[in-house]
Amino acid sequence: MKKIILTVAAVFALSFANAQDKKEASFGFSEGDFYLGGRVGYNNSDDNGVKNTTTNLSPEAGYFLTDKFALTLGLGIINSDNAGAKNQEFNVNLGGRYYFLNLGERFKTFTNFGLMIGNDDNGGNGADKTSSFGIKGGLGMNYFITPSFAIDFGLANVLSYTSSKTGNVKSTETALDINEYNNFFGTATFGLIYKF
C-alpha cells in the first residue's frame, strides 16, 4: 500500500511540475498575470539654429482578470524645450486591453481603450495651465521574444475624444479613423513589456 501511495504521489508531483514548466514556458498571458512596460522617447532637432528637444516617458502596468482581458494603469511625462521655452505635460491613463487574435505562437493582437486626465503647464511663467480629459481606443500587437519579455506595438488609434480647457477657453476634438491608412513606421509606437 505504501508503494502505491508513494507512486501516486510521485506521479502527481511530476505532473504538477511539468504543468508548471509548460505554463512558465508559454507565450502570451493568463489570468492573474501582471506586466510592467512602457515607452521612452527622445527627439532633438536643429532648424536654422533653433533647437527643439522633447523627451517622453510613459510607464504602464497591467493585471489580467482573465486570459484575454487586462486592466491597465499608465503615466505620461513629456518635457519639451523649444528654442528655450520649456514645457511640461503630465497625464494619467486608466483603461484596459482585450486580446482577441493570436497570429502564431508569439504574436498576440489586442484592442485597447482608456480614459486620460492630463495637465500641461504651457511653459509656466504665469501662463494659464491646460487641463484635459480624453477617451481613446486603438489596436496593437505584442511579439514575445521570450515567454516573459515582449515588444509592444501600438498600431493605431481608431477612436478618440479630447476635451481641454486653458483659462476660460474650452476646446474639444473627436476623431474616428476607420478607413484612414498611414505609414506604419510614422504612426506606430514601440515599447517593451515584462510579464511576471
Residues 125, 39: Cα–Cα separation, whole Å: 29
The torsion angles phi and psi of 4, rounded to 5 degrees, stand at: -65, -45
pLDDT mean over 155-181: 81
pLDDT, tens digit, for every residue of 48-85?
878 888 888 899 999 999 999 999 999 999 888 887 77
**125 and 109 Cβ atoms separated by less than 8 Å:** no
Q: Could you tell me whether strands 69-82 and 50-64 are parallel, antiparallel, or unpaired per DSSP bridges?
A: antiparallel
**114 and 72 Cβ atoms separated by less than 8 Å:** yes
Domain range list for the chain: 29-195
pLDDT given at position 160: 87
pTM value is: 0.74
Q: Which of the pair, 103 or 5, is modelled with greater confidence?
A: 103
Label residue 178 exposed, middle or buried (CB < 10 Å: 0-12, 13-18, 19+). exposed
Q: Is the pLDDT of residue 42 over 60?
A: yes
Closest of 165, 150, 49, 153 to residue 117, by C-alpha: 165
Label residue 35 exposed, middle or buried (CB < 10 Å: 0-12, 13-18, 19+). buried
CATH 2.40.160.20 fits 29-195, yes or no: yes
DSSP bridge pairs for 183: none
Q: In the predicted model, what is the mean pLDDT of the chain? A: 81
**71 and 60 Cβ atoms separated by less than 8 Å:** no
Q: What angle do CA 128, 40, 147 make, to 5 degrees?
A: 140
**93 and 115 Cβ atoms separated by less than 8 Å:** yes
pLDDT, tens digit, for every residue of 90-133?
999 999 999 999 988 999 999 999 999 998 887 766 677 889 99
